[in-house]
Each structure stands twice: as structure tokens, then as C-alpha cells.
Amino acid sequence: MTRWPAEAIWEAVAPLLPGFTVEVLPEVDSTSSELMRRLRAGQPEPTLLVAERQTAGRGRMGRGWVSQVGDSLTFSLSLPLAPVDWSGLSLAVGVSVADSLHPDLRLKWPNDIWLGGRKLGGILIETAGSGAAQRQVVIGIGLNIVTPMADGLSTPPAGLREILPGVDAPQVLLRVVEPLVRAVQAFEAEGFARFQAGFARRDLLLGQPVALSNGMTGTGRGVDAVGALQVMTANGLERVTSAEVSVRPVAA
């Protein structure tokens, strides 16, 4: 089994998140599914769960997330969260992860991490608990370390070693987790506005021709203060907020 920096991460994060635990599993269906099951079973301790292999990794909108053992980093973080407004959380997470890793990474609204014209990673945000008050959030992140084969993928993939030669999954985990916890806590206190400029600097769709899954086409005009995507269409400026809408850049 790979050596993971569980203790170093625990030491950095436990002061920020009382009761925090770090767990590495050789195999699980999905780190996000496992943490959601634990929350529903009444185990609310903030947890970082890393899996060396996922047998049923999940992406957004019911898609799967396939990754090769050793060639990728797959983890989920659960923690209690009570922001005034949840909108823009996946964008704030993306800004944090990208800022921890490399200036060349781009963010594709609402939750993809890209390198050049290819997808390098994805973010899946789920919540447990009801009511407007405090809920538990599970933030699932998958990052390619080695560039995967493009076979069968709708979007061509990229890997972190293209820009961080020799980097491995444990090193990447160590770099991203503590800043991520701090970013999520800043989001809770201040909302997406705090991350808007950071997102804009990495916005893959800014000024690009885009096509939305609801049939709309136009040009990306950035995101607003609550993280909604703005698209200039033939009918004027449209705001896209629905997580059920997917958007893709169109070759000009």
C-alpha cells in the first residue's frame, strides 16, 4: 500500500475541525457514497476519506468517475457547514484546489478542473441533513495524476504530471487538503463573493463560445457574485444557476 501523509494532514486540519479523522482505504465503491452512508447512519465526525481504488466512483449528473489505481487521487471530505447561501460552493472548492496546485489550471463552471483544452479533475458536492440550519457537506474530488487514455471519454483527459513532473497522489493530497478546509470555512463565513476574482482568473469559459445542454448557445461572460454562469446569447445576457445544466466550450 502507498504511504499517505495522514498524520501530517491530521495535525494541520484537526485544530480547524474538532473531531477530524483521516482514513485511507485500499478499496471502496465511492468515497463520497461511503461518507454519505456514514452521515445518514448518524456518524457526523468530519472525515477525510481517501481511496486507492474506487469500484463505483461517481461524477455529476449520474455519470461515473473512472480512475486507475496509482494514477489518480480520489478522496472526499465531510464536514458540518452552515453558509447563508450555498451557491458557488463547488466554484470556491475549485479555486482552492487549483490555487494549491498550479497557475496553469483552469476552472470550467461549475465544477471541473481543466488543463488546456482537457479535463484534469472533477468536484462532486453533496449534502446530508435537512433544514436551512447546519447541514453536513461531502466534497468529493477526483484528480488525474497520470494522463489517462482518452478511450471512451467524452472530454479528452489531462494529468497533473504534465505540469508537476514526478508528483504523486500523496503529495497532491498533502498540498490541497488544509487549504481546502480553510477555503470552505471562508466560504461559510463570507460566501462566494470572496472567491469571485479567483474564479475569474481561471475561468475557462470566459469570452469563449459555449453550448449548454438546455440548447442555449452564446459566449461565456464570467460568473456573478453568487457563482451563476453568465452567457451572452442572441436574447441577451442569461444567468445559468442550475446544476442540472451542463456546459461545454465550442471550438470557434
Give the residues lining the site for ligand BTN (CB under 6 A). 30-32, 54, 57-60, 63, 65, 74-76, 112, 122-124, 140-142
Q: What Cα–Cα distance (Å) separates residue 107 from each residue in 14, 58, 78, 104, 137? A: 29, 19, 22, 10, 21
Nearest position to ligand BTN, beta carbon: 122
Of 139 and 221, nearer to ligand BTN (C-beta) is 139
Of 93 and 231, nearer to ligand BTN (C-beta) is 93
Task: Work out how close the CB of 172 gets to ligand BTN at its nearest, in angstroms, rounded to a whole number.
Answer: 13
Task: Work out how close the CB of 131 gets to ligand BTN at its nearest, in angstroms, rounded to a whole number.
Answer: 25
**202 residue type, one letter:** R
Q: Write out the DSSP string of 203-216.
A: BTTBTSEEEETTS-
Of 31 and 196, nearer to ligand BTN (C-beta) is 31
Residues 6+ apart with CB under 8 A from 11: none
Of 81 and 143, nearer to ligand BTN (C-beta) is 143
Task: Work out how close the CB of 58 gets to ligand BTN at its nearest, in angstroms, rounded to a whole number.
Answer: 4
Q: Which helix (H) or strand (E) holds 131?
A: none
Q: How many C-beta atoms lie closer than 10 Å to residue 61's C-beta?
A: 11
Task: Work out how close the CB of 142 gets to ligand BTN at its nearest, in angstroms, rounded to a whole number.
Answer: 3
CA distance 78 to 88: 17
